Amino acid sequence: VASRITGFIEKITVDEGDIVKPGDTLVEIDNAQIEAAIKGADAAVLAAKADLLDAKDDVKRIKKLVQSKTMAEDDLRNAEVRRAQATATLATAEAELVAKKQDRRYSHIISPVHAQVRERLRDPGDLAAAGEPILQLDALGDMELEVYLPSTSISNISVGQTVNVKVKSCDELLTAKVSNIVRAADEVTRRYKVRLL
């Protein structure tokens, strides 16, 4: 289990050996930086809205002046370009605000599976960097395995078929069932993804 954001760990709710269920909160990360980034993005949206409103007003005003032959057509075109730029700036600022708000959910790391905590790699007060492991979990129950097969082998596989699997870390041969075949080949490797249970 790793963090998707960088921040100080406020709380780790589990210890080694604990059993966790899907949805259980495992780690809470200080979100002060996220909240500050959201406030900054919010301010950028407000500024972009004000600029767009001003640009729209300029277009209306200059359009009237052009009709009365007080200003040139070029001035109107320039005002319309500024309005288009302000519209794009607002769209960018709003997208950035949405992205920053999405980061909020990463301040609470939840268990994706039913598992047992094998090892705690960090403690409260430690800095969690994005992508850096905090906990190691051992999934309990059925495990899913993904394999990639060349196009020459994919026609020999069907959903529900039982196959033998050899895993490097395990000496014995395992048995699994094909649960899904993704029929679109990877663009680079030209291999097909097959999921096994």
pLDDT tens profile 51-84: 999 999 999 999 999 999 889 999 999 999 999 9
pLDDT tens profile 111-132: 988 899 999 999 999 999 888 9
Under 8 Å between Cβ of 76 and 100: no
The band of 147, judged by pLDDT with boundaries at 50, 70 and 90, is: confident
pLDDT tens profile 25-38: 999 999 888 899 99
pTM of the model: 0.57
- Output the pLDDT for position 173: 85
For residue 196, the surrounding DSSP H or E stretch is: strand 191-196
Backbone angles phi, psi at 94, to 5 degrees: -65, -40
Residues 132-160, mean pLDDT to the nearest whole number:
86
- Output the pLDDT for position 70: 87
